[in-house]
């Protein structure tokens, strides 16, 4: 079997690219021939992909934006307004420049072409709305003026993606409800894949003398500060960019901001933490909770959106219904701990999202759709 995966622009191995990379590796291990197509693929990502798949870069260059976080919007605009990206891909297929594939999984919101399955991971207009709080004014002001048009264009494009796909799968029940509220039917749920060989317990006897958290665009910093103010020792990993992190957080005596860490360093951090604190603003799926559980460390987060689907309350972590409850739980767990059996149950739960399991789900789904 040969599967074509159609992905978003790939600037690095994180974000939306991560699911593509892991799925490609999962298919490769199953003896599936894989072809990856994207509008733009940076050299470092291409090099990693080429170990497991043939790679087709459609060669789109940025004209309006040159930053990774915003150049994606330019690709989306080209497709939403003029179908430029999908037209180029269809021409390559018609001319025979691409080898034939038995099935296609479209993991993109920016290329509306026929596919066996569309993997819907979140509307673009919602991501833009969330980004308003941290992008520079030169982006947020034009967006505010055009937000209704952007939403209209995105919904129209999503309906095209759905119409061109035989089945549509969301990456969580939360996201399924979002799409269906827009009148876009989802046929199934397939969670995002996790590399449990990379994320595994690496510390034989965890010290448990700190709580791990993430500093990023989706972090509820107010909650992290309240927890730190009570005396809980916190280590925070995340982007090198600190423009959106409150200054008092970076100087807090109970918070150690580590900045960017490698995946290997992150596995060590998860493994040695007492628990992972994940107070998010928006999270359709959430890699941090499943990565932490894969390293045998329970997670304290909210009882909503993607994390409420992966963390099992009282078994692999704790789900709070409010900021106040989350802060109270964090202090209580810091002082009193939890049964050691939770760590074993965390690993069990995380293995349900292992890339081998998710790749098999896709293979079975494709076989069913093809009849």
- The pLDDT tens digits for 126-160 are 888 887 776 677 777 887 888 999 999 999 999 99
Q: Are 301 and 278 in contact (CB under 8 A)?
A: yes
CA distance 286 to 166: 27
Residues 225 and 283 in one domain: yes
Q: How many domains does the chain have?
A: 2
The whole-model pTM stands at 0.91
**Hey, which residues does 120 pair with through a beta bridge?**
170
CATH number at residue 227: 3.40.50.2000
Is residue 206 one of the residues assigned to a domain? no
DSSP 149: H
**pLDDT band at 67; cut points 50, 70, 90:** low
Residues 163 and 219 in one domain: no
Q: How far is CA 338 from the centre of its chain?
A: 29
Structure tokens at 14: 């994180």
Residues 116 and 251 in one domain: no
**pLDDT single digits (tens) 77-128:** 999 999 999 999 999 888 877 778 899 999 999 999 999 999 999 999 888 8
CA distance 331 to 329: 5
Domain that holds residue 169: 2-193+355-370
Residues 169 and 49 in one domain: yes
CA distance 90 to 115: 12
Helix axes 287-294, 263-272, angle to 10 degrees: 70
Q: Are 317 and 301 in contact (CB under 8 A)?
A: yes
């Amino acid at each position: 079997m040969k599967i074509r995966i159609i992905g978003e622009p790939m600037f690095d191995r994180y974000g939306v690219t991560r699911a593509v990379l892991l799925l490609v590796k999962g298919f490769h291990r199953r003896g599936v021939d894989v072809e990856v197509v994207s509008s733009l693929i940076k050299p470092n990502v291409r090099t990693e992909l080429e170990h497991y798949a043939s790679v087709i870069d459609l060669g789109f260059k940025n004209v309006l934006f040159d930053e990774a976080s915003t150049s994606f919007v330019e690709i989306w605009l080209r497709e939403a307004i003029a179908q430029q990206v999908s037209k180029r891909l269809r021409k390559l297929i018609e001319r025979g420049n691409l080898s034939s594939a038995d099935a296609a999984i479209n993991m993109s919101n920016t290329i509306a072409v026929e596919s066996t399955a569309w993997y819907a991971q979140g509307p673009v207009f919602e991501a833009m709305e969330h980004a308003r709080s941290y992008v520079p004014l030169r982006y947020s002001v034009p967006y505010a003026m055009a937000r209704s048009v952007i939403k209209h264009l995105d919904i129209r494009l999503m309906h095209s993606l759905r119409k061109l796909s035989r089945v549509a799968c969301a990456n969580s029940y939360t996201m399924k409800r979002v799409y269906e509220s827009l009148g876009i039917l989802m046929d199934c749920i397939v969670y995002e894949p996790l590399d449990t060989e990379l994320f595994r317990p690496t510390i034989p006897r965890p010290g448990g003398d700190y709580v791990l958290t993430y500093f990023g665009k989706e972090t509820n910093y107010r909650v992290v500060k309240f927890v730190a103010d009570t005396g809980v020792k916190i280590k925070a990993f995340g982007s090198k960019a600190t423009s959106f992190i409150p200054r008092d957080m970076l100087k807090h005596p109970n918070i150690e901001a580590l900045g960017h860490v490698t995946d290997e360093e992150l596995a060590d951090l998860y493994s040695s933490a007492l628990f992972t604190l994940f107070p998010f603003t928006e999270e359709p799926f959430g890699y941090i909770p499943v990565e932490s559980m894969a390293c045998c460390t329970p997670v304290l987060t909210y009882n909503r959106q993607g994390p409420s689907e992966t963390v099992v309350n009282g078994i692999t972590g704790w789900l709070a219904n409010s900021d106040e409850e989350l802060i109270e739980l964090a202090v209580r767990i810091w002082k009193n701990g939890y049964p050691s059996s939770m760590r074993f149950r965390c690993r069990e739960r995380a293995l349900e999202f292992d890339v081998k399991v998710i790749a098999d789900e896709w293979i079975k789904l494709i076989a069913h759709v093809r009849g």
